[in-house]
Structures are given as C-alpha cells and as structure tokens.
Amino acid sequence: MWLALSAALACGRRGTPAAARDELVVATPADPDTPDAGSGLGLHPVNANVYETLVRLTPDFSVAPQLATRWQLRSRNTWRFHLRQGVRMHDGTTLTAAAVVWTMRRIARAGGGPMGIGEGSVRVIDDTTLDITPTRPARRLVEQLANPDWSIMAPGPDSAPRPVGTGPFRFVEYARGDHLTVERFDEYWGDRARLRRLTFRFLPDANARLLALRAGAVHVASDLPREAARAARLLPDIAVATSPVGGYDALYVNQQSSAIRRAIVYALDRPRLAEAAWRGTAEPALLLGPAVLLGRSADLVGGARFDPRRARRVLDGAGWTPLPDGTRAKAGRRLALTLVIGPPDFDIHRVMATVVQDQLREAGIDLRIVPLPESGAYQARIKSGAGDLWTVAGELSDADPCVVADLAVRGAARRFLDACRAAAAPEDAQRSAARALRVLIDEEAVVVPVAGTYRVWGLRREVRGFVPHPSSPSQRWDRVSLATSRVSR
C-alpha cells in the first residue's frame, strides 16, 4: 500500500504533473473543501500568497507596511491609509482605493470582523488615500488589519472562480481535495518570487505527508507530529524546522467556587499535558499565545505552577473531604465536574481531556467528559453555559494584544480589556492586556493556559530560504527557492 501511494505521489494525482525543477510542492492537511471556495482560494486555510493586506504581520507580532506605506490616526476613531503606488493586480489593473472599499464592504457584509467595519466605514480621499472609520471605537484597527483574512481583493463577485489579488503568486488551478497551484506574478510590485510555481497537495494523514517527503514527491511537509518529526530527523536528505509559538490551548473554568477553580489550576501538570496531547508540537504555557505579543508587560502574569499538595489543601480548606473512593464531597454532594471538548483540534482535545481527568482525580475531583466534535453543537453548548470547563484554542493571526484576553470576562478584567482597546500607544495596550490576563489567570483562575502550540515542518535539503512564521496564515513563500533550480529572469 505504501509503495503504491509513494508511486502515485511521485507521478502526480488526477493528472497533476510531477514537480518541475522550479516548482516547490508542499504537502499540507488543509483544503478549502467547499463546493465553491470562491475568492477565498489561496487565502485560507492555505495562504498561497495570492493576496496581501494593508499591513503585514511580522514574526515578532508587530505590523509593517505592505499595500499601505503609512497611516495615521486622524481623529478619535478614523485612520488614514496611504496606498503604495504602481501596484499591479493579477488581472492587469492598478490597485486603487476602490479595491479597498470593495474589500471592506465585503467584510461588512460578513459581520464586520473584530474591527467593526460597516458598509460606510471607508471614505476615499483620492486613488491612493482613504479613511477607515469603524462602527465602534477601534484603536487597534491597524494591528487587526494584519490578519490575512482581511486581504485586499479586486472588485468582483465573492464567488469568482479565479481569485485576483496583488501577491507575489497568482492563481492557476484548484482541484478540490487534491491540490492548489499558483505561479509567480512577474509584475509584482516588490522583489519577484524565486520560484516559478508553487503547488499545495492536500494529504490529511501525517504519515502520508512524511512518506511523500521521503519519496521526493514533495519538498515540504507541514504539521508533522512528534513521531513523524523524529523519523524525519533520522533521514540524511530531510531537515526539520519548527516555528515559534503562535497559538494557544486553554481551559475556561465556568465554576462559581474560587476554591475549586484554584484547585484545578494547581492539579494540572502542564508539561505532561503538552507531551501527551500535542506529541511534541506544543510547550507548557502560562499565557494565552506568545509572550512577545505582550512585550515587556508579559512578566505581569505569573501563572500558577503544578502543586498537587496545594490543590488538596485548597479543597480541604473549603470543606471538601475525601470519600473512600478518593472523590471529595461536601454536604452530601460529590465533587463532580463536566468538561466540554470540541473543535478546533478535537482529536487533541480528546487526548488532553483524559489526562486532565486523571490529574483532577488525584485531587479528588470526578470529571465527566462531554465530546462535541461538531462546531455548531459545541458553540451552542458554550452559549448555554452548560458545563464546568470548556476547551479554548486559537492561533493568533494579527498583532492585537487585546485578543489574548478577549474571553467571556467581567469585572476588573473587562475594564482592563476596554482600556487595551482604547489605548493610543501599543505599549499601553500591551500593559492593559497583561493586566486583564493577570486577573483571569492569577487572581480569578477562570482561564487555565495549558499549551503554547507551534508547527513542525519537514524540508528536503534542497529547499532554501524557508523560515517558519509563528502565525501559519502569514507564512511567506516568495523568498523560498530550490538549490536545483534557477529563477527565470
């Protein structure tokens, strides 16, 4: 079976030709997988660098100019952007403020995003100058616009089969469940891509991605688990690259008793959880997301350490006494909680939940696991408030520090979060976000960070210039090349 799969991958599937010398082939589990992917092709979940944002997200979670060369806050809630001049779109037209207007109205029709974009939020000053005024106070607008989801598109129907952007690669073809191919855009405004073509092959199974990498059918394989990464490191023609932490996994504790919340925090062994559930693709976490997003203020959040004796003392002090089976009880009621697990990464959460169950049992807490793999059912359960603990996970895709504290919070944490959004200086926003997290994590223990997640990539030795971005939606491919190829001039 493996030999047959290897041969199929090497030769190409469904008529897809094998890679040329100046074509990079990437094995990825992600596929838009919709009947009509439309304008989103090449953007999510695979960013093929077809589109670009007004500002880009740097690896240290700050913003840098992209299609906008500069910007300034013109009034309390209005930002003025100056577009880069002479930018060609893939259809041959020139980028003007009209494309930004069309894109922002598209965002407004979809709900406005976290920025609060409305139908009338954009005012055109001239072809390369425009004002954006969200429908609610949005001092963090620039940081939020770094998310590739808000990339600028050419005006046209959302269902256009050929996406048109300004990126270093332009769309060629998409075969649902099989591959997505783009090619270098020779009229790109910046340095041209070093590769002529870039093809993403969709292989959901990690072992199949590793096998394709070993066989030379692909040059890069994304999202390798620990076992595959270990196997890859033993191969002389394969290298392994790990991105910095760009995501988080946590537990949200919906339990009124502060003693129970604190006992849960002390009972959890984060290193063991990260090892068991993420299999070498995460590290124990004390924050939600990378510390760099909070800058110097990250030190304001302490985060509790694993201390099972302290967990038991906290419950003893609150009157929860052990029964013969080890479970604690108080006033005739057993200490039984419910953990609701769901997407994203449901399979990982399922493993994590069993380890959490074992660790809480050591403290005398009986935990029942409610698995809800379907996103709609999971979100409905969260909105209903049913459950004592819920899984919370995400990957950070912009430079807004407020997002790491944007949970179902109240009281002091809510005030700090509001201050983060209203802060004029990024450093003040970081400080307010860290203070909100300190309330949530250190003081109230309603959020329990578990793991900081990252991606593991396998690369063939001939791949040059690949640098893993901590935020996978912002991964760049234009500086990547193959040692066996030359860039056509």
For residue 269, is it within any domain?
A: yes
pLDDT value, residue 345: 85
Helices (runs of H) and strands (runs of E) counted in the chain:
12, 24
Give the burial class of 43: count Cβ atoms within 10 A of its Cβ; 0-12 exposed, 13-18 middle, 19 or more buried: buried
Residues 214 and 326 in one domain: no
> Distance from first CA to last CA of the chain, Å, rounded?
42
Distance of CA 428 to the CA centre of its chain: 24
Helix (H) or strand (E) holding 339: strand 336-341
Q: Is the pLDDT of residue 213 over 80?
A: yes
CATH code for position 469: 3.40.190.10
- With beta carbons less than 8 A apart as the criterion, state whether 63 and 126 touch: no
Query: Are residues 383 and 286 part of one domain?
Result: yes
Within a domain: residue 158? Answer: no
403 and 317 belong to one structural domain: yes
The answer to the question of residue 15 being in a domain is: yes
Same domain, 379 and 327: yes
* Number of structural domains the chain divides into: 3
Pairing status of strand 122-126 against strand 463-464: unpaired
Sign of torsion over alpha carbons 315, 319, 323, 329 = negative
pLDDT tens per residue, range 249-303: 999 999 889 999 999 999 999 999 999 998 888 999 999 989 999 999 999 999 8
Same structural domain for residues 288 and 337? yes
User: Would residue 295 count as lying in a domain?
Assistant: yes
CA angle 53, 56, 57 (to 5 degrees): 135
Q: 35 pLDDT band (50/70/90 cuts)?
A: low
Residue 178 lies in a domain: yes
What pLDDT, on a 0 to 100 scale, did the predictor assign at position 489? 32
**Quick one: pLDDT at residue 439?**
94
Is residue 40, in this structure, part of any structural domain at all?
A: no
Cα–Cα distance measured from residue 319 to residue 313, given in angstroms and rounded to the nearest whole number: 10
Alpha-carbon distances, residue 388 vs 105, 339, 408, 446 (angstroms): 39, 6, 14, 10
Res. 9: pLDDT tops 70 = no
- pLDDT for the residue 11: 42
Residue 41 lies in a domain: no
Q: Are residues 339 and 412 in the same domain?
A: yes
**pTM of the predicted protein model:** 0.88
415 plus 283 within the same structural domain: yes
Q: Is the model's pLDDT at 459 over the cut of 60?
A: yes
Residues 288 and 193 occupy one common structural domain: no
Q: What is the pLDDT of residues 316-356, one digit of tens each?
A: 999 999 999 999 999 999 999 999 999 888 989 999 999 99
CATH code (residue 83): 3.90.76.10
Give the bridge partners for 83, in sequence order: 68
CA distances from 430 to 141, 297, 439, 446, 463 (A): 15, 6, 14, 20, 37
In the three-class reduction of DSSP (H, G, I as helix; E, B as strand; rest coil), residue 210 is classed as helix
pLDDT in tens, 183-209: 999 999 999 999 999 999 999 998 899
Amino acid code (one letter) for 242: T
Spatial CA neighbour of 32 closest among 48, 11, 17, 16: 48
pLDDT at 408: 63
Percentage of residues in the chain having pLDDT higher than 90: 75
Domain span at residue 362 reads 247-453
Q: How far apart are the C-alpha atoms of 55 and 148, rounded to whole Å?
A: 9
Do 90 and 130 belong together in one domain? yes
Q: Report the C-alpha dihedral over residues 223, 224, 226, 230, rounded to 10 degrees.
A: -150
If asked whether residues 393 and 432 sit together in one domain, one would say yes
Q: How many of the other CB atoms lie within 10 Å of CB of 5?
A: 17
pLDDT of residue 5: 37
Helix, strand or coil, per DSSP, at residue 487: coil
Residues 235 and 277 in one domain: no
189: nearest Cα among 241, 250, 128, 125? 128
Question: Phi/psi at 451 (nearest 5 deg)?
Answer: -145, 145
Report the CATH number that the domain containing residue 414 is assigned in CATH. 3.10.105.10
Same domain, 278 and 410: yes
pLDDT tens digits, one per residue of 163-188:
999 999 999 999 999 999 999 999 99
Cα–Cα distance between 155 and 140 in angstroms, integer? 26
